[in-house]
Structure 1
Amino acid sequence: MTRLERMRKLVELDPKSEITHFGLGQACYDEGLFAEGASAMARAIEIKPDYTAAYEILGRCLEKMGNLEEAEAVYLKGIEIGTVRGDMIPTEKMKARLNRVKGKRALPDSPAGPSSGAA
């Protein structure tokens, strides 16, 4: 049984645990299953709204899916929560990723950025 299969089974056994959803989301991210990973992280946050680390992985999944605006919003919320909670490591990671996302969104030729119309 793979790690991903184990995490899916754990979510089935304990669907109200933010930890099992976080584990599933991390496993999905590692396997390139970004939509499923985002869904699992969103569920972890729904269960425990101040789960700072889940915001970081959710943002990373959204970035990989090309949803940069949504990733930016998730990072901003995660940074706010992490700052209040004193969760420095995920908060610092999200600050760095937020800066990267803002840079990508500012590029006119970026697929997710504004179109400049220039060729």
Structure 2
Amino acid sequence: MSRIEKLEALLQENGSDAFLNHALGLEYVKAGNDAKAEGIFKQLLADNPDYVGSYYHLGKLLERNGAEQGAIAVYKKGMEIALKLGEQHAYNELRAACEYLEF
């Protein structure tokens, strides 16, 4: 059973688990299925907007696929949430990714 299959099985029991959804998104990125990963990250953030780590990975995915303005918007939203939560490390990573695209 692949990691994707294992995560999907776990999500059958608890589909709203943010950690499992984030992990599934990352596995789809590793598998080269950016469309599936993007959908998972977007749904995760719609359901759990405070799950800061997903902003970075969704932004990177969008950036890699040429959607730089979308990536910037995601990074900025993530920065806003990170500041609200006092997550300085996450804020710094998101800011660095955003600044790279803006310059």
Fold match (TM-score > 0.5): yes
Q: Does 1:64 align with 2:64?
A: yes
Counterpart mapping for 1:1-119 below 5 A: 1-103=1-103
The percentage of aligned residue pairs carrying the same residue is: 26
- Matching residue's letter, 2:40: A
Q: Distance in 1 between matches of 2:63 and 2:11?
A: 24
Structure number with the higher helix fraction is 2
- Matching residue's letter, 1:62: L
What is the CA RMSD across the aligned residues, in angstroms?
1.5
- Residues 60-104 of structure 1 deviation map (CA, whole Å, 9 limit, x = unaligned): 11112211111100000000110110112222111111112223x
TM-score (norm 2): 0.87
- For this pair of structures, how many residues does the alignment match? 103
- Residues 16-54 of structure 1 deviation map (CA, whole Å, 9 limit, x = unaligned): 222221111111122222221111111111221111111
- Matching residue's letter, 1:10: L
List alignment gaps of at least 5 residues for structure 2. none
- Shift of residue 8, structure 1, vs aligned partner: 2.5
Q: Distance in 1 between matches of 2:102 and 2:31?
A: 26
The structure with the larger Rg is 1
Distance 1:5 1:64, change over 3 A: farther
- Matching residue's letter, 1:47: D
Q: Distance in 1 between matches of 2:101 and 2:59?
A: 10
- Matching residue's letter, 2:87: D
Distance 1:49 1:31, change over 3 A: same
